[in-house]
Amino acid sequence: MTAREELDKIKQLWALKTDEELAVKLKTTKFNIDSWVKRNKIPEKWQLIIGQMSNTRLPEAVSPSNVITIPIFEAVAGCGAAGMLEQLRLSSDNFVFDSRIFPSNIITNNIAMIRIVGDSMAPYLDENDWAIIELRNGRDIVPVEAVYLIAYDDAVQIKRVQIIGKKAVIKSDNKEYEPFTLGINDFDIVGKIVGRLKFGSLMLIKE
């Protein structure tokens, strides 16, 4: 999806007709929006702002006790392309959600978000989508096939992982990428994917 198409979807979502109206809504300038279209890239800072604006308008019935902020990893997760393991630390940025959208078995103070690069998990996760991860933090992982954020070879990637004995089959949803096998001691599971934020539609998808 091009920057122009993404901006048009955002305008449709917010019932706006022109880029001028979008600029006012974002408290920026029409010149900035024109530059995003010309470069075919919406800067990450503005992706975060747009995502937050689309998810912080919680219903009036939501009490403050139900509101949670989800921190964001400074790294990006590779879905085909390698992510950056050395920068896998939380930033000061965050998204805001109603905690009741998550299943009761999810520890909501133990989740984080990471931005996607690459297409190996498409259409489950596309470039510039966000994955919501329940962090492992030393807990045991139930050996069932699921989508995880994994770290190996100085990179972080999101893959489907099937653990079989002392081996793990690492799979992509995009059939152009072949599965491969790792020993269970050759990679680390950072956490399990429990939700996705599709940037093009700005829609949260729960697992």
Strands 188-198 and 146-152, how do they pair?
antiparallel
The answer, yes or no, to whether residue 45 has pLDDT greater than 60, is: yes
Q: What is the pLDDT of residue 92?
A: 59
Question: pLDDT band for position 175 (50/70/90)?
Answer: very high
Evaluate whether 98 touches 67 at the Cβ level (below 8 Å): yes
Mean of pLDDT values over 176-197: 90
Please tell me whether the overall predicted TM-score, pTM, comes out greater than 0.75 for this model: no
Residues 44, 56: Cα–Cα separation, whole Å: 18
Class of domain 65-206 as given by CATH: mainly beta
User: How do residues 10-27 score in pLDDT, each as one tens digit?
Assistant: 888 788 889 999 888 888
Residues with Cβ < 8 Å from 138, sequence gap 6 or more?
Answer: none
Domain ranges of the chain: 65-206
Q: Is residue 201 predicted with pLDDT exceeding 70?
A: no
